[in-house]
Structure 1
Amino acid sequence: MVELGRFDRNLAHIIVGRLDSEGIDAVAFDGETSIGDGSYLLIPVRVMVDEDDLAAAQAIVTA
């Protein structure tokens, strides 16, 4: 898997859903980091995709 980008927590999950609707498997990493101390909204979430899907995923995100 390769990193598509880093986004705020909510946007990362929206992007994962959008990519999934286009048939691209994606995973949000770090979404639960530091949830215990309340700083989870400040930590960017990495959206990861298969290397073969990176170009298509980038096109969807920039559109």
Structure 2
Amino acid sequence: MVELGRFDRNLAHILVGRLESEGIAAIAFDAESLIGDGSWLLIPVRVMVDQDDLDAARAIVAA
């Protein structure tokens, strides 16, 4: 898996859903671990995709 980008927690989950609706497997890394320390609004969440899907995922994010 490679990093597509870093986004706020809510946007990261929206992007994962959008990518999966297009058949691209995606994971929001670190999203849940940030809630416990109260910094979930401050620290970006990494959205990860397979290397083979990176270009397609970037095109979806750009659109």
Instruction: Provide the TM-score with structure 2 as the length reference.
Output: 0.94
Percent of pairs identical after alignment? 81
> Could you give the per-residue CA deviations for residues 5-43 of structure 1, whole angstroms, max 9, x where no partner exists?
000000000000000000000000010233223111211
Residue 20 (structure 2) pairs with residue 11 (structure 1): no
Q: Which runs of 5+ in 2 are unaligned?
A: none
> Could you give the per-residue CA deviations for residues 29-63 of structure 1, whole angstroms, max 9, x where no partner exists?
01023322311121100000000000000000000
Q: In angstroms, what is the RMSD of aligned CA positions? A: 0.8
Q: Which runs of 5+ in 1 are unaligned?
A: none
Structure 1 runs (4+) deviating above 3 angstroms are none
Task: Return the structure number with greater helix share.
Answer: 1
Aligned residue for 1:55?
55
Instruction: Provide the TM-score with structure 1 as the length reference.
Output: 0.94
Report the count of equivalent residues: 63
